[in-house]
């Protein structure tokens, strides 16, 4: 089996599992991960956090992002562009979002952020024991993380998203840590 086919199979299997989590269990786990992330951000004294706006069955980190605003932490989110590029926009609320590509959303008429990023919360479908991730297949985060190699990167997921080894290619980025809790 080729690596592209292998990646696709893992993506489908994990997404099906993630989509089938019971809402009550998902909400409790998401709150636990938000609490752990908040503590990590405090411990690392992060002033600028890059995060995703959750879509579908991804871990809902919106409550964390709201807390970060309250603590005067700058929250930056991606806007997906062509050619595996992301534009980074300051997120100040969830009230002025517009739909992006692939089911994403981003601030409408958002301010572009070009400064240093302290911590990046990275979405993914699978994470392995060496902190490699398997994303959605667009290569956007691999390109972005290569350009921001000084930022502390953390992947988050549900327990079943932790695998022994994800299929890797030379361009795949390794994260600083992966935050997955037993639940």
**CA–CA separation, 181 and 161 (whole Å):** 11
| Predicted confidence (pLDDT) at residue 174 exceeds the cutoff of 80 | yes
For strands 119-122 and 105-107, give the pairing: unpaired
Higher pLDDT, 2 or 95: 95
Closest CA to 50 of 173, 140, 151, 179: 151
Q: Tell me the residue range of the domain where 33 lies.
A: 3-179
CATH number at residue 141: 3.40.50.10420
Judge contact between 85 and 143, C-beta under 8 A: yes
Q: Each residue of 2-12: pLDDT tens digit?
A: 888 888 888 99
Q: Each residue of 131-155: pLDDT tens digit?
A: 999 988 878 888 888 888 889 999 9
Q: Tell the residue number behind the tokens 């037993």, with chain if given.
A: 182
Three-class SS state of 3 = helix
pTM above 0.85, yes or no: yes
For the chain, the domain total comes to 1
List Cα–Cα distances, 154 to 95, 127, 131, 143, in angstroms.
26, 11, 9, 16
């Amino acid at each position: 089996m080729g690596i592209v086919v292998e990646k696709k199979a893992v993506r489908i299997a994990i997404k099906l599992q993630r989509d089938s989590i019971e809402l009550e269990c998902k909400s409790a786990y998401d709150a636990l991960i938000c609490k752990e992330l908040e503590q990590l951000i405090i411990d690392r004294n992060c002033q600028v956090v890059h995060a995703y706006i959750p879509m579908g069955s991804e871990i809902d980190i919106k409550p964390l992002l709201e807390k970060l605003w309250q603590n005067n932490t700058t929250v930056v989110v991606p806007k997906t562009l062509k050619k595996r590029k992301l534009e980074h926009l300051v997120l100040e609320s969830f009230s002025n979002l517009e739909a992006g590509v692939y089911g994403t959303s981003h601030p409408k008429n958002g301010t572009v952020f070009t400064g240093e990023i302290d911590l990046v919360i990275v979405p993914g479908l699978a994470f392995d024991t060496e902190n490699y991730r398997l994303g959605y297949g667009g290569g956007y985060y691999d390109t972005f993380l290569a350009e921001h190699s000084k930022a502390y990167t953390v992947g988050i997921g549900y327990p079943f998203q932790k695998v022994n080894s994800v299929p890797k290619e030379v361009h795949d980025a390794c994260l600083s840590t992966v935050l997955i809790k037993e639940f």
